[in-house]
């Protein structure tokens, strides 16, 4: 899988994260790196998700920057030449996902450039970087999770203001309008982020509809078909150092034997 790793720079650590990070990053800028297959939706980021039960690491890229992601992702990055010494991972510290919640970060290209880190229980340890940027207008999982967090802020131990940014229209599709994900969540009667089966179906439809029939509503490529804008946004973000290319081997067996 060829992902785009979105660099979300920390603007202000949560109190819990601050205590853990203090003195350990050597003055480096720290970025949460979110793996996405939909760089063209970055205008509509409203928050970022981490797993409250996963462990993350902060890894030195060079003397100036560090990336926060799972150690599995850092190993992949090391072999892709992301860090100063190929094949080598330099971990500065380890931190629980739960402690990152409430951290304020910069979301590149987003209409709302400052967003918060929130918990998502369905983040998989085995995919991407373990950090997921949230685009509730176009991702049914993100929309369902954001609505659940708003309903049960106390249960999730979040400040309601961290989940206050509303979905932003980014892509228009003929069938679902300007907000594909909320329309699909309603149509398939999805009530919770745990409705795994209808959410998988909604995701599949949203991917196809957005890619084949979507038109950009905002940004540098406004008015262009998503099919064309997708690569352009990705390349522009990488050229501006707002993102990195991040690939993931499809399966361990294949990657070992080939
Ligand atoms: C922003 C975004 C905007 C995404 C969208 C999707 C959509 P896939 O297809 O199964 O490979 N993601 C990334 N890593 C994880 C993880 N560890 N656990 C759970 N979800 C993860 O899934 C790739 C997408 O799943 C990524 O692209 C990311 O969310 C999320 F409008 O980033 B995406 C219709 C989907 N729309």
pLDDT computed for residue 27 by the predictor: 96
Instruction: Work out the pLDDT band at 1, boundaries 50, 70, 90.
Output: confident
217: helix, coil or strand?
Answer: coil
Examine residue 244 and state whether it is found in any structural domain, yes or no.
yes
Structural domain span for residue 134: 2-139+149-165+222-257
Examine residue 204 and state whether it is found in any structural domain, yes or no.
no
What is each CA distance from 247 to 4, 24, 65, 75, 111, in whole angstroms?
8, 28, 20, 12, 27
Examine residue 124 and state whether it is found in any structural domain, yes or no.
yes
Examine residue 66 and state whether it is found in any structural domain, yes or no.
yes
Q: Would the CB of 28 count as within 6 Å of ligand 1?
A: no
Examine residue 213 and state whether it is found in any structural domain, yes or no.
no
Q: Would the CB of 135 count as within 6 Å of ligand 1?
A: yes
155-178 pLDDT, tens digit per residue, is 999 999 999 999 999 999 999 999
55: helix, coil or strand?
Answer: strand
State how many domains the chain has.
1
Q: Would the CB of 164 count as within 6 Å of ligand 1?
A: no
Summarize the confidence of residues 14-23 as an average pLDDT: 97
Q: Is the pLDDT of residue 102 over 60?
A: yes
21-63 pLDDT, tens digit per residue, is 999 999 999 999 999 999 999 999 999 999 999 999 999 999 9
Examine residue 110 and state whether it is found in any structural domain, yes or no.
yes
Q: What ipTM goes with this model?
A: 0.98
Share of the chain above pLDDT 90, in %: 96
Examine residue 245 and state whether it is found in any structural domain, yes or no.
yes
Q: What is the mean pLDDT of the chain?
A: 96
Examine residue 54 and state whether it is found in any structural domain, yes or no.
yes
Indicate which CATH number applies to the domain containing 102: 3.90.740.10
Q: Would the CB of 123 count as within 6 Å of ligand 1?
A: yes
173 is written with which tokens? 């599709």
Share of the chain above pLDDT 70, in %: 97
* Span from the CA of 19 to the centroid of ligand 1 (angstroms): 30
Q: Is 245 exposed, middle or buried (0-12, 13-18, 19+ CB in 10 A)?
A: middle
């Amino acid at each position: 899988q060829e992902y785009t790793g979105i660099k979300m720079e920390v603007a202000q650590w949560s109190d819990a994260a601050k205590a853990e990070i203090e003195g350990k990053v050597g003055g480096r800028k720290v970025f949460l790196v979110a793996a996405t297959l939909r760089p063209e939706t970055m205008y509509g980021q409203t928050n970022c998700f981490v797993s409250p039960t996963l462990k993350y690491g902060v890894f030195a890229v060079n003397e100036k920057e560090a990336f926060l992601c799972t150690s599995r992702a850092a190993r992949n990055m090391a072999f892709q030449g992301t860090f100063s010494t190929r094949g080598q991972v330099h971990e500065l510290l380890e931190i629980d996902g739960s402690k990152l919640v409430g951290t304020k970060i910069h979301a590149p290209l987003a209409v709302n450039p400052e967003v918060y880190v929130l918990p998502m229980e369905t983040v998989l340890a085995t995919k991407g970087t373990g950090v997921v940027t949230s685009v509730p207008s176009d991702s049914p999982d993100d929309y369902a999770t954001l609505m659940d967090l708003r309903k049960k802020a106390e249960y999730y131990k979040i400040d309601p203001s961290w989940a206050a940014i509303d979905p932003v229209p980014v892509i228009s599709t003929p069938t679902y309008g300007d907000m594909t994900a909320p329309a699909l969540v309603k149509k398939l009667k999805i009530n919770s982020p745990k409705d795994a089966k209808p959410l998988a179906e909604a995701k599949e439809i949203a991917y196809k509809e957005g890619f084949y029939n979507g038109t950009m509503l905002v940004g540098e490529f406004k008015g262009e078909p998503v099919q064309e804008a997708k690569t352009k946004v990705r390349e522009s973000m990488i050229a501006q150092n707002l993102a990195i290319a991040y690939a993931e081997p499809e399966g361990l067996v294949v990657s070992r034997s080939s």
